[in-house]
Structure 1
Amino acid sequence: MSSDWHTLTSQKLFLAETLIKISQQAPDRGTGEATLQGAIELTLRARKSLLSAIAQHYQHKSARPESLEELQGLIGKEAPETVQLEAIAHQTGSWWNHLDQLETSQGKPPSKKKTITEDNIIAVAIDTGPDRSATSLANSLAAMKRYLTTLTERHDEW
Structure 2
Amino acid sequence: MASPWHSLVSQKIFLARTLLAQLDENDSVPTREALVQGAVELGLRARKLILVMVARMYQEKLAQPESLEALIELLGSDIPETTELTRLAGETNSWWNHLDQLERHQGNPPVARKTVSDENVIAVSADTGPDRSRQALEQTLTAIKHFTDTLEERHSEW
The TM-score, its normalising length taken from structure 1, stands at: 0.95
Runs of 4+ that moved beyond 6 A: none
| Larger mean Cα displacement after TM superposition, 107-116 or 146-155 | 107-116
Q: Which amino acid is the alignment partner of residue 155 of structure 2?
A: H
Aligned to 2:144: 144
How far does the alpha carbon of each residue in 1:61-106 deviate from its partner, in whole angstroms, 9 at most, with x for none? Answer: 1111111111101111111100011111111111001001111111
Highest RCO, 1 vs 2 (Cα 8 Å, sep ≥ 6): 2
Conservation of the 8 A alpha-carbon contact between 1:2 and 1:53: no
Aligned residue-pair number: 158
Structure 2 length-normalised TM: 0.95
C-alpha deviations, 1:33-75, integer Å up to 9, x for none? 0010000001000110111010001111111111111110111
Percent identity over the alignment? 53
Query: Counterpart of 2:130 in structure 1: which amino acid?
Result: P
Residues 71 and 2 from structure 1, CA distance in 2 versus in 1: closer, same or farther, beyond 3 angstroms?
farther
Shift of 1:2: 7.0
Root mean square deviation of aligned Cα: 1.3
With over 3 angstroms needed to count, the CA separation of the structure-2 counterparts of 1:61 and 1:2, relative to structure 1, is farther
Bigger shift: 97-106 or 117-126? 117-126
Q: Does 30-39 or 121-130 show the bigger shift?
A: 121-130
CA distance in structure 2 between the partners assigned to 1:138 and 1:25 by the alignment: 17
User: Which blocks of at least 5 consecutive residues in structure 1 are unaligned?
Assistant: none
Is the 8 Å Cα contact of residues 2 and 57 (structure 1) preserved in structure 2? no
1:45 aligns with 2:45: yes
How far the C-alpha of 1:122 sits from its partner, in A, is 0.7
The residue number in structure 1 matching 2:80 is 80
Does structure 2 retain, via aligned residues, the 8 Å contact 1:23–1:33?
A: no
Q: Which runs of 5+ in 2 are unaligned?
A: none
